[in-house]
Amino acid sequence: MKVYLRGAAVLLLSAVACAGVVLAQQSAAPAKTTLASERDRVSYAIGLDVSNSLKAIAPDLDYAAFERGLRNGLEGKDALLSASEIQQVGRDLVTRIRARAGQPPQDGKMPEVAKDKVGLMVGGDVGRSLAQLKDEIDVPTFMQALRTGLGGGTPLLAEAEMRSVLEGFASRVRGRLEAERKAQGEKHRAEGEAFLARNKGVKGVVTTASGLQYMVLRQGNGPRPKTTDRVRVNYRGTLLDGKVFDSSYDRGQPAEFPLDRVIAGWTEGVALMPVGSKYRFWIPARLAYGEAGTPDGSVPPNAVLVFDVELMSIL
């Protein structure tokens, strides 16, 4: 399993490949001498894998702050540094990494960084990347492996063992997530079908042959777009529970796109609207994102979508 880091850590870790360095040990929980459980083995293997990605920043890393940021990120809490602090620490840290790799700053000035801020930033990034696995990770064991990996010690797992543990764990996690996704999809399918059956009888709701449902909130008097046209719209998209997953209103500007490049429910629905209209659409999952949902998880599998759409112009 490859640990993927986000935000500033991506910039830092891709800045330069650097040889391992020895980092002075800071206070930690009593070290394990054996890995008695599968959870210990997984936690240790993930810690070693992460340490391989962090060697370049080891001289600038405070372990205690890293652990604090890690725990915070695992819980999905807000970052412990402000956005401006993250940007500044990230820039300075990249400069220091490059200097250690033989690329000194052009102005000859080596920026200083606060090791605790580096720890909070990177630990938080790692924690957020592992948040879905938080119940699988024993933090003290993870931290022991991280210290060993960054400090040049002898790990409790050899490289081949570490890879074997990670591959087996990744396979189990994929199976678990797939089962959860399938169960979620079945729940949303049943809820969506029941909702659409009820909504079909609501006064003012029109159901098309495809199953798309819509209501006219304001009827315009302009031309209707063809499915090959490009349009400008304002819209808000929600799930059946009212959760907003996309909104041009929230972004503060209308959206523009060709009608044949969006979900089928949009292509069909907006083509029904005269310019100047505002419609509400209830889009069955098969005309939206189907069994897969969206990659970022904002739309779950088999979700019925609700859109309020204003057609402003045909471009």
CATH number assigned to the domain covering 192-314 = 3.10.50.40
d(CA 125, CA 70): 7
Which region holds residue 125: left if phi is over 0, alpha if psi is between -120 and 50, else beta?
alpha
Phi, psi dihedrals of residue 176, rounded to the nearest 5° = -65, -45
Alpha-helical (H) ranges within 101-239 are 115-129, 139-151, 159-199
> What pLDDT shows up at residue 29?
59
What is the 3-state composition of the chain as percent helix, strand, coil, each rounded to the nearest 5? 50, 15, 40
Place of tokens 């005269």: 274
Identify the bridge partners of residue 216 per DSSP, sorted by sequence position.
279
Which region holds residue 152: left if phi is over 0, alpha if psi is between -120 and 50, else beta?
left
Tokens of 196: 């659409």
Per-domain residue ranges of the chain: 8-157, 192-314
For 229, which DSSP code? S
Mean per-residue pLDDT pooled into runs of 10, the chain (315 residues): 34 33 43 92 96 95 97 94 95 94 89 95 95 92 96 94 94 88 92 96 97 98 96 97 95 95 96 97 97 89 97 97
Length of the chain: 315
d(CA 236, CA 254): 11
| Displacement of CA 139 from its chain's centroid (Å) | 22
Question: What pTM did the predictor assign?
Answer: 0.61
d(CA 302, CA 288): 9
Q: Which residues contact 47 (CB under 8 A, 6 or more apart)?
A: 141, 142, 143, 144, 145, 146, 149
> What pLDDT shows up at residue 149?
96
